[in-house]
Amino acid sequence: HLKYRAFAPIELPDRRWPSVQITKAPLWLSTDLRDGNQALIEPMDPERKLRMFQMLVRIGFKEIEVGFPSASQTDFDFVRLLIEQGHIPDDVTIQVLTQARQPLIERTFESLKGAKRAVVHLYNAVAPVMRRVVLGMDEDQIVDLAVTHTRMIRDLVAAHPETEFGYEYSPEMFSNTELAFSKRVVDAVTEAWGATPERKVIINLPTTVENATPNCFADMIEWMVRNIERRDSVILSVHPHNDRGTGTAAAELALMAGADRVEGCLFGNGERTGNLDLVNVALNLYTQGVHPNLDFSDIDDIRRCVEHCNQLPVHPRHPYVGELVYTSFSGSHQDAIKKAFSVRKDGDVWEIPYLPIDPKDLGRSYEAVIRVNSQSGKGGISYLLETEYGIELPRRLQIEFSQIVQQVMDTHGKELGAADLWQIFDREYGVKQ
């Protein structure tokens, strides 16, 4: 039912193009309240956390990582508040992170008491530099660390049948790790959890620090998809960061390479340059005719909420949401947009040049689509007069009036809105009398 044309394949002489496309939405996990929160100058207080959680639910996230309860009392208390005050809808699963240490795992289970459903997320570093320099452990010890604590979680899960538990394991720094070793750890974890197609394990592969072009990550994911044991018992998740500015590309290529699930944050909050921007990937899918199963129909409301919770601004040119992304200052762009709007009918596929998405789909209005400054031409000027004041200028008058407007702008150098144009029009042609 989307009005967007799935990216139309065009014939190349010697091959099909594009060779791969994403044809369905992945599973999504928001880690705004965990990875996003831990990177904030001022981590969220309970009021901001709850506001963020409720907004994530409204958007349609079914899996939400809500904190690291064994590492922070605030996170512990927040998990308790969610459970005790009944904030978790029946179809939403909360997830919590833990390190591979018995007391921390026990504390994690304590935080989850009474939850209907939850995922326990265990991580440990696997990369050579972490083994050698930070942990001082060899490969066997790392495998043992992951397996021992996976078994511990499996046993605690069995002891708490009142909660429906899932399990996620992340080999931290996967993208810096030898593939054969990552496979060894992951296979051992899958086995230790006792994964079956009915009781899958989530294996989450992060670019903890993005360190190569995104195709390298996708190649690694493809290799894992083809080589890990019990693929049918594994939900393969990716967790890109954005150190090279290619988090979105890494996620998209990873999905094309066979990943099932994506972790990230709204508008790309997170450590350093951020986690993968979930909104970006979801709306990229949307504009290719694939519904992401997430609702961004009031994107400004979401932006305001995220800005309040994170206490960080969203850039005016941020894809899909920035204040300036549905504006067009150049005259030729404005002209093209105006022409395309004038022939467009409801139900048509979206084919407006220079606008990759209908702003209306995100709750943005057409009013802001055309702005007029010293770079603009007659198209934008007459479009604004027509849509805002119902004045349809004949072509000769469009040219004449746009010259007058240009003079005003050359003098003042300021951007003009519809009301300014109306005033100039009135002054020149005296329409009010």
Residues that bind ligand KIV (CB under 6 A): 35, 97, 123, 170, 172, 204, 206, 208, 239, 241
Rounded Cα–Cα distance for residues 320 and 297 (Å): 11
Identify residue 393 by its one-letter amino acid code: L
Mark the segment that binds Zn ion (CB under 5 A) among 30-38, 72-80, 83-91, 162-170.
30-38
As to burial, measured by CB atoms within 10 angstroms (0-12 exposed, 13-18 middle, 19+ buried), residue 69 is: buried
Q: How many binding residues for Zn ion (CB under 5 A)?
A: 1
Peptide bond into 18 cis (omega under 30): yes
35 vs 63, which CB is nearer to Zn ion? 35
CA angle 27–28–31, rounded 5-degree value: 150
Residue 172 binding: pick among ligand KIV, Zn ion, none (C-beta 5-8 Å cut-off by kind)? ligand KIV
CB of 129 to Zn ion, least distance (A): 17
Residue 168 binds Zn ion, judged by CB under 5 A: no
Q: How far is the CB of 293 from Zn ion (least distance, A)?
A: 23
> Which residue, 176 or 376, is less far from ligand KIV as judged by CB?
176
Instruction: Kindly state the tokens that stand for 429.
Output: 């042609």
Q: Which does 376 bind (CB under 5 to 8 A by kind): ligand KIV, Zn ion, none?
A: none
Do residues 186 and 177 lie in contact, with contact meaning Cβ atoms separated by under 8 Å? no
Q: Taking the complex as a whole, how short is the minimal distance between the CB of residue 268 and Zn ion, in angstroms?
A: 12
Q: Is position 269 annotated in a ligand binding site?
A: no
- Is residue 346 a contact partner of residue 352, using CB atoms and an 8 Å limit? no
Contact 127, 177 (CB under 8 A): yes
What residue has token string 């030729």? 332
CA distance 172 to 345: 50
Per the annotation, does 35 bind a ligand?
yes
Q: Does 361 bind Zn ion (CB under 5 A)?
A: no
Of residues 271 and 400, the one with the C-beta less far from ligand KIV: 271
Determine if 32 is a binding residue for Zn ion (CB under 5 A). no
Residue 348: other Cβ atoms inside 10 A: 11
Residue 333 contacts which entry, Zn ion, ligand KIV, none (Cβ below 5-8 A, type-dependent) = none
Q: In Å, how far are 114, 207, 311 from 54, measured between CA atoms?
A: 20, 28, 17
Q: At which residue do the structure tokens 């400054």 appear?
A: 373
Q: Which is nearer to ligand KIV, 39 or 381 (CB)?
A: 39
From the list Zn ion, ligand KIV, none, partner contacted by residue 123 (C-beta under 5 to 8 A by kind): ligand KIV
Residue 208 Cβ vs ligand KIV, minimum distance, rounded to whole Å: 3
Q: How far is the CB of 5 from Zn ion (least distance, A)?
A: 35
In the complex with Zn ion, the residue whose CB is nearer, 174 or 326, is 174
For 300, the 3-state DSSP assignment is: helix
Q: Based on CB atoms, which residue is closest to Zn ion, 35 or 75?
A: 35
Rounded to a whole number of angstroms, the minimum distance from the CB of residue 200 to ligand KIV is 18
Q: Kindly tell me the sign of the dihedral angle through the C-alpha atoms of 178, 138, 173, 53.
A: positive
CB nearer ligand KIV, residue 204 or residue 382: 204
User: If you search the block for the tokens 């990216």, which residue do you land on?
Assistant: 7
Least separation, in Å, of the C-beta of 253 and ligand KIV?
18
Distances 285 to 277, 288, 306, 315, 416 between C-alpha atoms, Å:
13, 5, 22, 21, 34
Is 241 one of the annotated binding-site residues?
yes
428 secondary structure, DSSP code: H
CB of 261 to ligand KIV, least distance (A): 12
Residue span binding Zn ion (CB under 5 A) among the ranges 9-17, 34-42, 370-378, 382-390: 34-42
Instruction: Give the nearest residue (CB) to Zn ion.
Output: 35
Q: Residue 313's Cα: distance from chain center in Å? A: 16
Q: Which is nearer to ligand KIV, 100 or 157 (CB)?
A: 100
CB 348 within 8 A of CB 357: no
User: Phi and psi of 162, rounded to 5°?
Assistant: -70, -20
Q: How far is the CB of 61 from ligand KIV (least distance, A)?
A: 17
CA atoms within 13 A on the CB side of 274: 19
Q: Which is nearer to ligand KIV, 78 or 123 (CB)?
A: 123
φ, ψ for residue 272, nearest 5 deg: 55, -110
* Annotated binding residue 373: no
Among 32, 35, 252, 361, binds Zn ion (CB under 5 A): 35
Q: Which residues define the annotated binding site for Mg(2+)? A: 35, 239, 241, 275
Chain residues binding Zn ion by CB under 5 A are 35
